[in-house]
Amino acid sequence: MELDLQLYSVRTDLAVEAKEMAQGPQKTPIPGVNEEVEEEGGIKVTRLGVANNAGSQAIGRAIGNYVTLEVPALRGGDTGLQQKVSTVFAREFEQFLNRIGINKDSSVLIVGLGNWNVTPDSLGPLVVENALVTRQFYELVPDQVSPGYRNVSAIAPGVLGLTGIESSEVVQGIVDRTKPDVIIAIDALASRSLERINTTIQIADIGIHPGSGIGNKRRGLTQEILGIPCIAIGVPTVCYASTIVNNVLEMMKNHFAQVGDGAAHTKEIMGMLDDISEQERLALVKEVLEPLGHDLIVTPKEIDEFIEEIANIVASGLNAALHEAVDPGNVGAYTH
C-alpha cells in the first residue's frame, strides 16, 4: 500500500492546526515556533511566531506572526458575545499592526477574496461591503477629512472563473495606481476540524499563499509579489469530508485511550487505524473516498447565518482598529 504522506495532505489553512498536528498528542514543543496563549471570557487568543526555517518546515507554514482567536460558543448566535469578539479582534489587530510596524497614517487597501455567489466563500466580499472606506474623501476633499479616519479603500476582485483574471492581478493593478501602504486580505479558509468552522479567526502577516483559501486562488498576495506588506485575515468555513472522517478517527482513538484499559482497548477497537500516523490514516480515507468522487468539501447547514455574523464581527473589528474615531463599543453602526 503506497500512500502520499506529505504533510499538507491534511488540508488546513490554520497555523494552530498545523502546529497541533506537528506536535502530536504529546504536545512536544517545536524549535523555532513560539506560542503565547491567553483566554478571557470564552475567547482563546493564540499568538504564534514562526521564527526560522526549522520552525517553518516543522509546521509547514511561512516564517511570520499568526494570531488566532478561537471562540467555541460563537455559533450560538449570542449577539453580546459577537460584540465582545469584535472588540477583542479590534484590539488584537491593532497590536498586530503595531508589532509589525504598520504606522497609524498608513493607507490601507482591504481586499475581499472569494466568490459572493458561493456562501461559504463569500466572507471577503461581505467584509468589503461593511468596511468603512474613506479614500474618496482623501482624494476629493483632503482638507475636510475629519481627524481619526485613516485612508482606507476596499475591493472584492472576484474569482478567476467569473472574471477570467487572477484576483492577484486585479489587486496588483489597483496597487500600482492607488499606492496603498499595506494590504489587508480577507479570505475564507478550510480547517481540519469541524469545531473550528465559523468559530475561529486567524490574522497573519504572511499574505495569501497560492493554494490557500477555499477557491482556486492560484497566485498569491504576498509582499514579494506586491511590494507592500500584506496581512491576511481568515476564517475557516469549510472542511474536506476526508478530514472530518480522519479527525473523528483521531478523536475516537483519544477517546478510547481514556476509557477502558487504554491503549490495548483502543487497538482492539480500531485495529491498525490506531497505530498509523494521522497522515497515513488520511491517505487511507482518501484512498477509499476519492475513486467514488466523494471527497466533497462541506460547510455547516447554517452557513448563511454564520457567514453574515462573522463577516460583521470582522468588519466591525477592522473599522474600529483602522479608524481611531470609530468607537469599538459602537462599531455596529458602520456595518449593515
Among positions 185-214, residues that touch its own copies (CB under 8 A) are: 193-195, 197, 214
Is residue 9 a contact point for its own copies (CB under 8 A)?
no
Is residue 174 a contact point for its own copies (CB under 8 A)?
yes
> How many of the chain's residues bind its own copies (CB under 8 A)?
77
Q: How far, in Å, are 85, 154, 232 from residue 204 at the CA level?
A: 18, 19, 5
In whole angstroms, what is the distance from residue 185 CA to residue 155 CA? 10
Is residue 121 a contact point for its own copies (CB under 8 A)?
yes
Is residue 156 a contact point for its own copies (CB under 8 A)?
yes
Q: Which is nearer to its own copies, 36 or 169 (CB)?
A: 169
What track of x and - describes contact with its own copies for positions 214 through 253 (by CB under 8 A)? x-----------------------xx-x--xx--xx-xx-
Is residue 267 a contact point for its own copies (CB under 8 A)?
yes
Q: Which helix (H) or strand (E) holds 335?
A: none
Residue 171 and residue 153 in contact, taking contact as beta carbons nearer than 8 Å: no
Count other C-beta atoms under 10 Å from residue 96's C-beta.
20
| Interacting residue with its own copies among 11, 47, 135, 323 (CB under 8 A) | 135
| Interacting residue with its own copies among 12, 87, 134, 335 (CB under 8 A) | 134
In whole angstroms, what is the distance from residue 166 CA to residue 19 CA? 30
| Interacting residue with its own copies among 30, 62, 225, 298 (CB under 8 A) | 298
| Interacting residue with its own copies among 2, 141, 143, 177 (CB under 8 A) | 177
The residue behind cell 513560539 is: 34
Residues 80-109 that bind its own copies (CB under 8 A): none
Q: Which is nearer to its own copies, 48 or 245 (CB)?
A: 245
In degrees, to the nearest 5, what angle opens at C-alpha 207 toward C-alphas 152 and 228?
55
Give the strand order in the sheet containing 64-70: 33-40, 43-50, 64-70, 200-204, 230-240, 182-190, 108-112, 152-155
